[in-house]
Chain A
Amino acid sequence: MLVYAARRVLTSVPLVLGVATIVFLVLALAPGDPASVYVRPGMSPETLEHIRRNLGLDAPAHVQYGRWVLSFFRGDFGYSLASGMPVRARILAVLPNTLILTSVSLCIAFVTGVLVGVVQAVRQHSFLDSVLSGASLFFYSMPSFWLAIMMVLVFSVNAGNAWGWPVSFPPSGMASDGYELMKATDQLRDRIHHLVLPAFTLALVLAGGIARYVRSSMLEVIRQDYIRTARAKGLPEWLVVWKHALRNALIPVVTLVGVYFPLLLSGTVFIEYVFAWPGMGRLMVESILLEDYPVVLAGTFLFGGMVVLGNLLADLLYGIVDPRIRHGEG
């Protein structure tokens, strides 16, 4: 197991380097001087100096590349053109919000997807199976931004007023007015209240794909000999399905979560934008509209890095979950 883990970690490092390289390539290939992306008239001389030195912006190409990558690894992404603040500070301010949103969504999506997938596998070819398949396909084919808007249309406060719905959630933001003045429990409740719509929307986008995968994995597993053995042992069917089968079926699904990470983060960009959730996705979009390129580049790098990290975590989780890897041979 340790060997496996070490190997996975080691392969991730050059991957992050590669991510940085690609971002640099995009920057270098773009028309215009790469340096112009980072500077703007009106910057203080110290800032200019800092940027020039750390990002190597007026040095020959390979030096530029080296310095640039190095500074990215150190977390120095230059200064935001829009706000003048160091990019790192901007990002650190919003990164936790994205992490909250994505982890909650992932949990919801996973639980839903697994439940739906198992039900579909056990009741294969039934009407329910067809309906759920159709629903999965429907949500899986949907652009996340449109789903988000539809959710706002149906479930948000404003809609509640317009249609008279009994249940409604805030359509935007992370906190209501007066958040700072609330008690801790109220704060928590408020946060959750704001989290519901974006998290569920993001989860819906993923759950369809997860359900499909779980379904096919379960169908494979249920055919296996050891399931027949479990039945021959006289175990009740629910135990056979939810313990013996599911435990095996989930193993490849864990790596699937890793594969779905880019999709999750793509969805995050749109969800955060539509729901005005102050996270990295929203920051990216805002920065584009403001032409704040240092933030855009740093954001791109970080998103790539997050995917690599996510994949690494998924692979490590896989190593834990599959005893054949955990305990090696004999």
Chain B
Amino acid sequence: MSLLEIRNLRSVIKTRDGEARAVDGVDLTVKRGEALGLVGESGSGKTALALSILGLLPDGHGRTLPGSSIRLLGEELVGLEKRRLREIRGGSIAMIFQEPMTSLNPVFRVGDQIHEAVKAHRDLGRGERWEEVVRLLREVGIPDPEDRARDYPHQFSGGMRQRAMIAMALAGRPALLIADEPTSALDVTVQAQILELLKGLVRKLGMGLLLISHDVGVVSRVCQRVLVFYAGRIMEAGSTADILTDPRHPYTRGLLGSRLSIKDRRRVLRPIPGEVPEADAWPPGCRFHPRCSESWDLCAREEPDLMEISSGAEPERLRDASSDPTSGGQAAVRQARCWLLSGDRSRVG
């Protein structure tokens, strides 16, 4: 059994003109001890996806539609009763966010905030709890943890704050950690440290990790598999190595082409033209087609399914109902949602 199985997740965000489908039919699986990356631009709906898992979409601002399924070790989370959901939050699944500056409560000491999490999810005596707080801080690499636990968040640097957040997330010994842009607000050197920390923790604790970022580089450092997310759907999936060296979907290629790299000194920056469409106004047909340089008529008319592709051999559609790019046990499974990559040449013609 996988750690996390998501099937047909659809979540909506409330806008002035109604409800917008920020997440529109997503399947994914995270296995124990696996680090899965989710890459997408701002506005693609990836944060909504992350929040949906724990039911954290703010009441009145968003909700997960029925028909979605999110299973943690077999337990269905969608529509779960409040008390059990709270046990899972911070307990079996923990989440860290983008802005460590504002994600910690400024009026409570860091140690107290971690202690709160420990108290909520672990069965330890008083003294043991405080020892655990110190131990957690040490584990994430904060020096002098006994002293620092008594500090307030504003007395920590950005990187240390994020470490503290990770410590707080680990307090409940989660089986799965969701990290939503954990490094985007940090300096580059600190970014590397945090990513290494995450990588190490995944290995050491056998945790599952869902790492979400707009930066492919960040994801590639830590994760074995990558999902490319756009306009509420998965556009391409594959192992990190495959995606980086041989991106197939035009969007993925565009993403990688718009990255800066020391090595590409002479190459021109090639941004993807256009903007991410608003969540309540997905274009017809393939959602990427307006910005795609290789689109055909079919792309504008009909939306492709997520199809399995493999390098070289005949591309073929998946036969079973699930289009989950991460099931099946092979990290090498590649999928893409693009007519150009499908085997049905006659339709593209």
Direct contact of A and B (CB under 8 A): yes
B152 touches A233 (CB 8 A): no
Does A141 belong to the interface (CB within 8 Å)?
Answer: no
CA distance A179 to B100 in the complex (A): 62
Does A60 belong to the interface (CB within 8 Å)?
Answer: no
Instruction: Choose one: A248, A322, A330; the contact of B105 (CB below 8 Å).
Output: A248
B97 touches A228 (CB 8 A): yes
Chain B, 300-337, contact with A by CB distance < 8 Å: what is the 0/1 string? 00000000000000000000000000000000000000
CA distance A24 to B105 in the complex (A): 49
Kindly list chain B residues whose C-beta atoms are within 8 Å of the C-beta of A329: 154-155
A234 in contact with B152 given A247-B107, A324-B106 (CB within 8 Å): no
Chain A, 216-260, contact with B by CB distance < 8 Å: what is the 0/1 string? 000000001110111111111000000010011001000000000
Kindly list chain B residues whose C-beta atoms are within 8 Å of the C-beta of A230: 105
Chain B, 90-134, contact with A by CB distance < 8 Å: what is the 0/1 string? 110011010100111111100000001100110000000000000
Which parts of A309-324 form the interface with B (CB within 8 Å)? 322-324
Instruction: Classify the interface of chain A: helix, strand, loop or mixed.
Output: helix
A248 touches B106 (CB 8 A): yes
- By size class, the interface of chain A is 20 to 34
B86 touches A236 (CB 8 A): yes
Chain A, 36-67, contact with B by CB distance < 8 Å: what is the 0/1 string? 00000000000000000000000000000000
B89 touches A231 (CB 8 A): yes
CA distance A322 to B152 in the complex (A): 11
A226 in contact with B106 given A234-B172, A323-B152, A324-B154 (CB within 8 Å): yes
CA distance A234 to B92 in the complex (A): 10
Instruction: Choose one: B90, B108, B155; the contact of A232 (CB below 8 Å).
Output: B90
CA distance A226 to B86 in the complex (A): 17
CA distance A327 to B337 in the complex (A): 54
Kindly list chain A residues whose C-beta atoms are within 8 Å of the C-beta of B89: 231-234
Kindly list chain A residues whose C-beta atoms are within 8 Å of the C-beta of B168: 229, 233
A327 touches B152 (CB 8 A): yes
A229 touches B152 (CB 8 A): no
Kindly list chain A residues whose C-beta atoms are within 8 Å of the C-beta of B86: 234-236
CA distance A194 to B114 in the complex (A): 49
Kindly list chain B residues whose C-beta atoms are within 8 Å of the C-beta of A324: 106, 152, 154
Does B192 belong to the interface (CB within 8 Å)?
Answer: no
B91 touches A225 (CB 8 A): no
CA distance A135 to B97 in the complex (A): 40
Kindly list chain B residues whose C-beta atoms are within 8 Å of the C-beta of A330: 155
Interface centre among A234, A235, A244 (most CB of B within 10 A): A234
Does B201 belong to the interface (CB within 8 Å)?
Answer: no
Instruction: Choose one: A232, A233, A251; the contact of B116 (CB below 8 Å).
Output: A233
**Within the complex, what minimum Cβ distance (angstroms) separates B123 from chain A?**
14
CA distance A329 to B86 in the complex (A): 35
B102 touches A226 (CB 8 A): yes
Measured CB to CB, the nearest residue on chain B to A124 is B60
Which parts of A46-91 form the interface with B (CB within 8 Å)? none
Does B244 belong to the interface (CB within 8 Å)?
Answer: no
Measured CB to CB, the nearest residue on chain A to B83 is A236
Kindly list chain A residues whose C-beta atoms are within 8 Å of the C-beta of B99: 225
Kindly list chain B residues whose C-beta atoms are within 8 Å of the C-beta of A247: 105, 107-108
Interface centre among A225, A226, A324, A329 (most CB of B within 10 A): A226
Instruction: Choose one: B102, B107, B117, B155; the contact of A233 (CB below 8 Å).
Output: B117
CA distance A236 to B84 in the complex (A): 11
A228 touches B56 (CB 8 A): yes
**Within the complex, what minimum Cβ distance (angstroms) separates A217 from chain B?**
13
Measured CB to CB, the nearest residue on chain B to A323 is B152
B106 touches A327 (CB 8 A): no
Does B88 belong to the interface (CB within 8 Å)?
Answer: yes
Which parts of B39-67 form the interface with A (CB within 8 Å)? 54, 56
Measured CB to CB, the nearest residue on chain A to B94 is A232
- Leading 4 A-B pairs by shortest Cβ distance: A234-B90, A234-B89, A233-B90, A225-B102
Known A233-B90, A324-B154; further 17 A-B contacts with Cβ < 8 A: A225-B99, A226-B105, A228-B97, A229-B103, A231-B89, A232-B97, A233-B89, A233-B116, A233-B117, A235-B116, A235-B120, A244-B108, A247-B107, A248-B107, A323-B106, A324-B106, A327-B152
Complex A-B: 20 CB contacts under 8 Å: A225-B102, A225-B103, A226-B103, A229-B97, A229-B105, A230-B105, A231-B56, A232-B89, A232-B95, A232-B97, A233-B89, A233-B168, A234-B88, A234-B90, A244-B105, A248-B106, A323-B107, A323-B152, A327-B154, A329-B155
Contact surface of B with A, Cβ cutoff 8 Å: 54, 56, 86-91, 94-95, 97, 99, 102-108, 116-117, 120-121, 151-152, 154-155, 165, 168, 172
Contact surface of A with B, Cβ cutoff 8 Å: 224-226, 228-236, 244, 247-248, 251, 322-324, 327, 329-330
